[in-house]
Amino acid sequence: MESKRGRLRGLMDSVANWPAVREIASLGMGPEAISEHTRRWQARILDADEKVVSVCPYCAVGCSQLIYVKNGSIIDIEGNPSSPINQGTLCPKGAATFELLSNPNRLTTVKYRAPYSDHWEDRPLDWAMERVAHLIKETRDQNWEEKNEKEEAVRHTTAIASLGGATLDNEENYLMKKLFTGGLGMVWIENQARI
């Protein structure tokens, strides 16, 4: 025959299983607070077709990223836990890299404002690259200095400058320095990021 203590324990167990009691005990954050709809949710990366290792394009820290691809399109970008640099983390800029591809407001053409113009025009990137190359050549030709006032060979131009951004990595900065100094004879070369 069931003892008084056993009956009391059974009663307490059944009270403890009441949804309202369970919800209060877990501060409303336990499984009883999860709807069937929410329970069916899963991380979108779980059914990705492919996971590609890449590097964040924003700054010279070079955090490693995992890029998840489904049906040929990128569906998510996350920090790579295997990287000794970022160990799975990304800063807010790196975490928003997905928007570089998916944001409908991203610029896809070059914005050009002609001298003395009061409005911007859309131009293709190839056109802008041609124009930059042309202006650099013209400026360099017009301002080339073979010798200084003491007749010492300098072979440079001080009419063109370069200010790099934080997105440039080591290798890009190396190539820029090589082209600008060795190739074009530029003197003023600076970079925003000194990492």
The whole-angstrom separation of Cα 78 and Cα 98 is 9
Q: With binding defined as CB under 6 A, does residue 93 bind ligand SF4? A: yes
Q: Considering beta carbons, is residue 136 or 166 the nearer one to ligand SF4?
A: 166
Q: Considering beta carbons, is residue 80 or 157 the nearer one to ligand SF4?
A: 80
Q: Considering beta carbons, is residue 159 or 166 the nearer one to ligand SF4?
A: 166
Q: With binding defined as CB under 6 A, does residue 61 bind ligand SF4? A: yes
Shortest CB 103 distance to ligand SF4, Å:
17
Of 78, 47, 75, 74, give the one whose Cα is nearest residue 65.
78
Q: With binding defined as CB under 6 A, does residue 66 bind ligand SF4? A: no
Q: Is 17 left (phi over 0), alpha (psi -120 to 50) or beta?
A: alpha
Selected binder of ligand SF4 within 56, 77, 160, 184 (CB under 6 A): 56
Q: Considering beta carbons, is residue 78 or 186 the nearer one to ligand SF4?
A: 78
**Hey, CA dihedral for 59, 62, 63, 65, is it positive or negative?**
positive
Q: How far is CA 17 from CA 13, 25, 39, in A?
A: 6, 10, 20
The site for ligand SF4 (CB under 6 A) is made up of 56, 58-59, 61-63, 86, 90-91, 93-94
